[in-house]
Chains A and B, each alone.
Chain A
Amino acid sequence: MVTINRDSKISRRKHQHQDSKLCFPLQFHHGTENLSSAKESSFPVFVHKPSIGVRIHHSLAVRPPPPRSSPPEEFSLLHFAKLEQLKTIGRELAMGSQGGFGQSKEFLDLVKSIGEARSKAEEDRIVLHEIETLKRRIIEPDIPKRKMKEFIIRLVYVEMLGHNASFGYIHAVKMTHDDNILLKRTGYLAVTLFLNEDHDLIILIVNTIQKDLKSDNFLVVCAALNACCRLINEETIPAVLPQVVDLLNHPKEAVRKKAIMALHRFYQKSPSAVSHLVSNFRKKLSDNDPSVMGATLCPLYDLIAIDANPYKDLVISFVSILKQVAERRLPKSYDYHQMPAPFIQIKLLKILALLGSGDKNASGHMYTVVHDIIRKADLSSNIGNAVLYEAMCCAAAIHPNTKLLEATVDAISRFLKSDSHNLKYMGIDALGRLIKVSPEVAEQHQLAVIDCLEDPDDTLKRKTFELLYKMTKSSNVEVIVDRMIDYMININDSHYKTEISSRCVELAEQFAPSNQWFIQTMNRVFEHAGDLVNIKVAHNLMRLIAEGFGEDDDNADSQLRLSAVESYLGLIGKPKLPSTFLQVICWVLGEYGTACGKFSASYITGKLCDVAEAYSTDDTVKAYAVAALMKIYAFEIAAGRKVDILPECQALIEEQLASHSTDLQQRAYELQAVIALDPQSVESVLPFDASCEDIEVDKSLSFLNSYVQQALEKGAQPYIPEEQRSGIPAISSFISRSHHGPSSHGLRFEAYELSKPVPQPKPSPPSLVPSTELVPVSEPSYSRETHQTSLARLETNVGSNEIKLRLDGVQKKWGSPSYSSPTPSTSSPSSQHAVNGVSQHDGASSVSSKARDSSSDYWKQQPKISPEKQKLAASLFGGIAKAEKRATTSSQGPTKAVETKSVVEKAPMAAPAPPLPDLLDLGEPDNNSGNSSAASDPFKQLEGLLEPGQGTSCANNSNPTSSSKDSDLIGLYGSIPTSGQNNLIFGSSTPNTASKNGHETNAAALLSQGTKGPNLKDALQKDSLVRQMGVTPTNQNPNLFKDLLG
Chain B
Amino acid sequence: MIHFVILINRQGKVRLTKWYSPYSQKERTKVIRELSGLILARGPKLCSFVDWRGFRVVYRRYASLYFCICIDQDDNELEILEITHHYVEILDRYFGSVCELDLIFNFHKAYYILDEILIAGELQESSKRTVARLISAQDSLVEAAKEQENSITNIIAHATK
Residue numbers of A with Cβ under 8 A of B are 1-2, 5-6, 99-101, 103, 108, 111, 114-115, 123, 144-146, 153, 156-157, 159-162, 164, 180-182, 185-186, 189, 192-193, 196-198, 217, 219, 222, 226, 229-230, 254, 257-258, 261-262, 264-265, 268, 290-291, 294-295, 298, 331, 333-334, 336-337, 341-344, 346, 350, 382-383, 385-386, 389-390, 393, 421-422, 424-426, 456-460, 462, 493, 495-496, 499, 912-913, 915-916, 918, 1009, 1012, 1015, 1018-1019, 1022, 1026, 1031, 1036-1046
Contacts and interface: CB of A to CB of B under 8 A. Distances in A.
Given A100-B106, A1043-B99, A181 B119 contact: no
Nearest to B64: A1039
B38 to A, nearest CB: 9
B46 A457 contact: yes
B134 A459 contact: no
A1038 B9 CA distance: 11
Given A5-B157, A180-B145, A346-B76, A226 B115 contact: yes
Interface string B1-26: 00000000111011011101011110
19 contacts: A108-B105, A144-B153, A146-B149, A182-B146, A182-B149, A193-B111, A229-B120, A254-B134, A291-B125, A295-B122, A336-B126, A386-B78, A386-B82, A389-B78, A912-B60, A1018-B95, A1022-B99, A1038-B64, A1040-B101
Given A162-B32, A913-B61, A1018 B96 contact: yes
Contact of A916 (B63, B120, B127): B63
A521 B33 CA distance: 35
Given A108-B105, A186-B108, A1019-B96, A219 B149 contact: no
B62 A1045 contact: yes
A271 to B, nearest CB: 15
Nearest to A166: B25
B47 A425 contact: yes
B60 A422 contact: no
Contacts of B17: 160
A658 B78 CA distance: 62
Interface in B62-105: 62-65, 76-79, 81-83, 85-86, 88-89, 91-92, 95-102, 104-105
Interface residues of B, number: 89
A949 B133 CA distance: 28
B79 A390 contact: yes
Given A421-B47, A1018-B96, A162 B25 contact: yes
Contact of B99 (A146, A331, A342, A1044): A1044
A222 B134 contact: yes
B129 A333 contact: yes
Contacts of A499: 54
| Contact residues of A: prevailing secondary structure | helix
A182 B140 CA distance: 10
A192 B139 CA distance: 20
A258 B134 contact: no
A421 B45 contact: yes
B67 to A, nearest CB: 9
Contact of A459 (B44, B46, B149): B46
Given A337-B82, A1018-B95, A1044-B63, 18 more contacts: A99-B142, A99-B143, A101-B106, A115-B104, A186-B108, A222-B134, A258-B124, A265-B120, A295-B125, A343-B82, A390-B76, A424-B47, A499-B54, A916-B61, A1037-B64, A1041-B100, A1043-B63, A1043-B99
A1039 B54 contact: no
Contact of A913 (B51, B60, B101, B129): B60
Given A264-B122, A265-B120, A426 B78 contact: yes
B124 A295 contact: yes
B120 A334 contact: no
Contact of A343 (B115, B123, B134): B123
Contacts of A390: 76, 79
B16 to A, nearest CB: 7
B82 A382 contact: yes
A156 B108 contact: yes
Contacts of A258: 119, 124
Contact of A160 (B9, B14, B64): B14
Of B92, B122, B134, the most chain A CB neighbours within 10 A belong to: B122
B64 A1045 contact: no
Given A261-B124, A916-B63, A1012 B146 contact: no
A1019 B97 contact: yes
Of B49, B129, B138, the most chain A CB neighbours within 10 A belong to: B49
Contacts of B88: 1044-1045
A196 B51 CA distance: 25
B120 A386 contact: no
B123 A182 contact: no
A915 B78 contact: no
B151 to A, nearest CB: 7
A162 B13 CA distance: 11
Nearest to A493: B51
A458 B134 CA distance: 41
A162 B14 contact: yes
A108 to B, nearest CB: 7
B130 A459 contact: no
Nearest to A1038: B64
A159 B28 CA distance: 10
B119 A185 contact: no
A186 B115 CA distance: 13
Contacts of B40: none
B69 to A, nearest CB: 13
A1011 to B, nearest CB: 9
A343 B126 contact: yes
B50 interface: yes
Contacts of B49: 422, 425, 459
Given A115-B104, A385-B78, A331 B127 contact: yes
Contacts of B11: 1036-1037
A257 B46 contact: no
A29 B143 CA distance: 41
Contact of B127 (A153, A230, A291, A462): A291
B59 to A, nearest CB: 8
Given A161-B14, A186-B108, A495-B54, A915 B120 contact: no
A499 B55 CA distance: 12
B78 A333 contact: no
B28 A1012 contact: no
Contacts of B89: 1045
A587 to B, nearest CB: 31
A683 B27 CA distance: 54
Contacts of A346: 76, 79
Given A383-B78, A422-B48, A1044-B92, A257 B124 contact: yes
Contacts of B83: 343
B63 A157 contact: no
Contacts of A495: 52-54
A424 B47 CA distance: 9
Contacts of A265: 120
A973 to B, nearest CB: 16
Contacts of B109: 100
A1006 B109 CA distance: 24
Contact of A181 (B111, B126, B145): B145
B25 A164 contact: yes
B22 to A, nearest CB: 4
Contacts of B79: 342-343, 346, 383, 386, 390
Contacts of A180: 145, 149
B105 A1039 contact: no
Nearest to B21: A196
Given A100-B105, A196-B22, A1019-B97, A219 B77 contact: no
Nearest to B91: A1044
A1041 B86 contact: no
A422 B78 CA distance: 8
B140 to A, nearest CB: 10
A386 B58 CA distance: 13
A123 B108 CA distance: 20
